[in-house]
Amino acid sequence: MSWRLSVGDTGAGTRRRARGRVARSGIGAVAGLLLLSGCTGQDLGLPTGASSDTDPTAQLWLGAWVAAGVVGIFTFGLIIWAPLRYRRRSEDEIPAQVRYNLPIEVLYTVAPIIVVLVFFFHTIQTDSDIQPTAEPTHTVQVLGQRWSWAFTYLDEDATNGESVYSVGSTAERPTLMLPVNETVQIELRSQDVIHSFWVPAFLYKQDLVPGRENSFSITPTREGTYEGRCSELCGLYHSRMLFTLEVVDRDTYDAHLQDLQAAGNVGNADGASITRDISGLDEEAGSSEDGAEQ
Ligand SMILES: [Cu+2]
């Protein structure tokens, strides 16, 4: 009797220890995932949106995390549970040897397909939801060329209808200035290869494809300075293809355009000689300047 009791106690102790290990592994897995995501705890690593059209993307992001969390916990749970549940319990016992299990094979084929289809559906839906309905009041043409940007502000009132531009190089990142709470049409052109216009705080990016005119409109909602970059690998100095986005009040925006006009940056940067050597390779060769790496 006492022998049986002692065996029973040992079994319960083993189960408790096993449950403790499962709990610790689960907590470790969740903590690891959060750490990997660079998570702030609030937006799960997503930048705080700076335009009027970021909500659908933020919801998709959150939904993806919830789905990944459920699938992850279920999968890790099975991985930990199966070897514990079906472990060898004594020296002279061989656990049941299973060759195949049709229902389980169907399950792990069909379940991932359903997950992918659900992600696909929500991604398409989000993509159509984030197109703003407001009419743009400004148009900025973004010209990409290895490895920098030129921004042309088309037909602005502040410059009496003249277009003005600013241009950068790999050594000096250009600034794109946009007025807060006003809708801007962004027209994307490439002079050479495919680039991608990306402002992480807008939770949006779009490609610049040579020979094709892509565009989208956006309404910045928070004044501030934001990072912008090329997110399509476009050659040697792709990592230097950066720009600064400044979202400012309307007066500052108008003053900036007038400064560009006064500096003689009048016309359209597209095809202008200044953009032909935008990459600044000659400066690079004679310079020890490190530049900003992404
Ligand atoms: Cu690029």
- Domains of the chain in start order, with CATH, are 14-129 (no CATH), 138-285 (2.60.40.420)
Between CA 69 and CA 77 the distance in angstroms is: 12
Between CA 2 and CA 258 the distance in angstroms is: 94
The pLDDT confidence band at residue 201, using thresholds 50, 70 and 90, is very high
- Interface predicted TM-score of the whole assembly (ipTM), two decimals: 0.95
Q: Cβ–Cβ contacts within 10 Å for residue 185, how many?
A: 16
Computed over every residue of the chain, the mean pLDDT equals 81
Residue 132: C-alpha distances to residues 48, 55, 184, 185, 262 (Å): 18, 12, 10, 10, 34
Q: Which residues make up the environment of ion ligand 1, defined by Cβ < 5 Å? A: 195, 230, 234, 241
Between CA 176 and CA 228 the distance in angstroms is: 9
The distance in angstroms from the start CA to the end CA of the chain is 71
pLDDT at position 82 over 50: yes
Q: What is the mean pLDDT of residues 174-178?
A: 95
Instruction: Read off the pLDDT of residues 177-195 as tens digits, 9 standing for 90 and up.
Output: 999 999 999 999 998 899 9
CA of 197 to the centre of ligand 1 (A): 8
The pLDDT confidence band at residue 19, using thresholds 50, 70 and 90, is low
What are the start-end ranges of the H helices in 86-206?
A: 102-129
pLDDT at position 169 over 60: yes
Between CA 57 and CA 159 the distance in angstroms is: 36
What angle (nearest 5°) sits at the alpha carbon of residue 61, between those of residues 56 and 64? 120
CA of 149 to the centre of ligand 1 (A): 9
The pLDDT, as a whole number, for residue 134 is: 77
pLDDT at position 10 over 50: no
CA of 160 to the centre of ligand 1 (A): 32
CA of 156 to the centre of ligand 1 (A): 27
Between CA 271 and CA 94 the distance in angstroms is: 77
Phi, psi values for residue 9, rounded to 5°: -60, -45
CA of 141 to the centre of ligand 1 (A): 16
Q: What is residue 21's three-state secondary structure?
A: helix
CA of 219 to the centre of ligand 1 (A): 24
Q: Token digits for 85?
A: 């549940």
Instruction: Read off the pLDDT of residues 217-267 as tens digits, 9 standing for 90 and up.
Output: 999 999 999 999 999 999 988 998 999 999 999 999 999 999 999 998 888
The pLDDT, as a whole number, for residue 290 is: 42
Between CA 139 and CA 172 the distance in angstroms is: 24
pLDDT at position 25 over 90: no
Between CA 209 and CA 195 the distance in angstroms is: 7
The pLDDT confidence band at residue 196, using thresholds 50, 70 and 90, is very high
Greater confidence (96 vs 8) lies with: 96
Contacts of 170 (CB under 8 A, 6+ apart): 147, 148, 237, 240, 241, 279, 280, 281, 284, 291
- Tokens 């319990």 belong to 89
CA of 26 to the centre of ligand 1 (A): 41
CB environment 67-104: b (16+ within 10 A), e (fewer): eeeeeeeeebeeebeeeeeeeeeeeeeeeeeeeeeeee
Between CA 50 and CA 29 the distance in angstroms is: 32
Q: Token digits for 57?
A: 């993307």
- Give yes or no for a contact between 248 and 179, defined as CB atoms under 8 angstroms apart: yes
Write out the E strands in 202-249: 204-208, 214-218, 224-230, 242-248
